[in-house]
Every structure is written in structure tokens, then in C-alpha cells.
Amino acid sequence: ALVTLRRKAKDCRACPLWKPATQTVFGDGPADAAIMLIGEQPGLHEDMQGEPFVGPAGRMLDRALQEAGLEREALYLTNTVKHFKYAQRGTAKLHKRANSAEQAACRMWLAAELARVQPRIVVALGAMAAQTLFGNAFRLTRERGEWRVLGECVQAMATWHPSAILRGRERKDAMYRQLVADLRSIKGR
Ligand code: URA
């Protein structure tokens, strides 16, 4: 069951990220959710609160979901990597991207979540989740918003990660519109 997975993931030592992190940030949502959203890795806020997408990226995601007519509570939200990775600079913890070994070590948890929840629709937020699902040749800039079939009956698509939009400078608005449109395209599938 999902609760058992979450409990086991608490004590995961499959890569070194557990040590400096506050806690494992496991996925969250109904065990029978039809839609699963997969992000990259927890940030500072997620690390402190133990829940995915509760910081600035989460607030943007909430707004986009609302505009797309999707209810966050009905979705299963998770990440490719379940621990916060950072560099300590004085009192600040600066976000660092998990490397491929750390991503690979964490893959079993995502695989277990997919097997347990069995969503009909999977959305990758950002390149890390997209490449985990579709392979390393996947390019978000080219293939964003395109639906494809995963396994037997799962429809999957990748779109911008809210954090990438927050960093997007002059392209912010356009990227955000694309995120909302991509999320809207879930409906009716
Ligand atoms: N970014 C992610 O990819 N996941 C989170 O949970 C928060 C920010």
C-alpha cells in the first residue's frame, strides 16, 4: 500500500542525499488518482514541510491547475527525486540539481508509486521527470505538450516546470500560458 511505501521511503539510504536533508518528501494524493504529476525534486519549503510542491513553485502550480480547471486534491503529486539537495552558503541552503546517479537511485520509488496508483494520465513537469519517463533523448523545448502512450494504457505528456517559469525572465508569461494550456489538454482524455 501507499502508506507502507511512504514509511519505507522515510528510511531510504539508496543515495547520499538523505543525510543532509530534513526528511524524505514522498508523493501525496489519493491512492486511486487518475492523474499523476511528477516534478523534479523537493526544494527548501518541501524539505521543511515534508510535502511536495508547497513552496513558490507549488503556488504557481496551484494557480495553473485552477486555471486549467483541475483540482489539486484529486491529483497524485510527486517528484523524480525525493530528497532536497543543496549547497550550504552561510545560513542559506542553495538548491542543487540531483545528478544522474541520485536520480537513478530514486527511480524505484517513482516506479512503485506508478505501480500502486496506476494513473491513467501522467504529466512530467520539467526535463528531469520527462527524461525519466521518455528517455534521455527527450527535449522539452521540442516535445512539450505532446501526448504519447506509456506502457499499455497510460497517456503521458511533459510540460514546463513551474520553477523554470519562475526563472523564465521575458518568456515567463508565454511559458505560463503554455503550462495552463498543456494542463487543460488533460481534460477529455
Ligand atoms: N519543485 C519540484 O520539482 N518539486 C517540488 O516538490 C517543489 C518544487
Q: Which of 25, 38, 46, 132 to mutate to test the pocket of ligand 1 (most atoms within 8 A of CB)?
A: 46
Helix ranges restricted to H, 21-152: 44-49, 56-67, 100-117, 127-134, 140-143
Q: Whose CA is nearest to atom 7 of ligand 1?
A: 53
Looking at the predicted structure, is the pLDDT value of residue 170 above 90? no
Tell me the pLDDT of the chain averaged across its residues. 97
Q: How confident is the model at residue 169 (pLDDT cuts 50, 70, 90)?
A: confident
Q: Is the CB of residue 59 less than 8 Å from the CB of residue 66? A: no
User: What's CA 110's distance to the chain center, in Å?
Assistant: 10
Minimum-distance ligand 1 atom for the alpha carbon of 80: 3
Convert the pLDDT of each residue in 7-36 to its tens digit: 999 999 999 999 999 999 999 999 999 999
Ligand 1, CB within 6 Å, residue ranges:
39-43, 46, 52-53, 55, 57-58, 79, 163
C-alpha 36 to ligand 1 mean position (Å)? 14
pLDDT tens digits along 104-150 = 999 999 999 999 999 999 999 999 999 999 999 999 999 999 999 99
Please report the pLDDT score of residue 173 as a whole number. Answer: 96
Residue 151: what pLDDT? Answer: 86
